[in-house]
Amino acid sequence: MPNECIFCKIVRGEIPSTKIFESEKSLAFLDISPAARGHALVIPKNHAEFLTEMNEEDLKDLILAVKKVAKAVVASAGAQGFNVIQSNHKIAGQVIPHVHFHIIPRKASDELSFAWKHIELDKEEIAAFGERVKENLE
């Protein structure tokens, strides 16, 4: 997959991009189909399709890059806030099979919405699910 992956090709310089940050393990560039002016993507240089597949060293570098890029994007866009979006698997909206974080600067005047319909759960359901999660932690 890494040879065909569009983000891996960007890392290797085979596809042009507007790079805005680079570390030893991470790369950030502007999205070519942005949701807002300044919409950036932050990716690990090592190919991983899902966040849960990443090694801890790459993940630490990546999240620090997300923090640094988010601060710079917000300042550069004159935004009042930002969204960080990271999706895993097609069902969750992942389009490119390479881990990536979207940083989307937000302004009061934008028309973006990331709202969802809330579901009703009682306290017992929440507690039972919490226990199942704890049993599955590695």
100 is catalytic: yes
Please state, in angstroms and rounded to a whole number, the distance separating the CA atoms of residues 85 and 99.
11
Topology annotation, domain 6-136: HIT family, subunit A (3.30.428)
Dist. CA 56–CA 107, nearest whole Å: 33
Catalytic position from the list 89, 100, 102, 118: 100
What is the bridge-based pairing of β-strands 26-30 and 40-44? antiparallel
Q: pTM for the complete prediction?
A: 0.93
Tens place of pLDDT for every residue, the chain, 138 residues? 567 999 999 999 999 999 999 999 999 999 999 999 999 999 999 999 999 999 999 999 999 999 999 999 999 999 999 999 999 999 999 999 999 999 999 999 998 988 889 999 999 999 999 999 999 997
Q: Domain segments of the chain: what residues?
A: 6-136
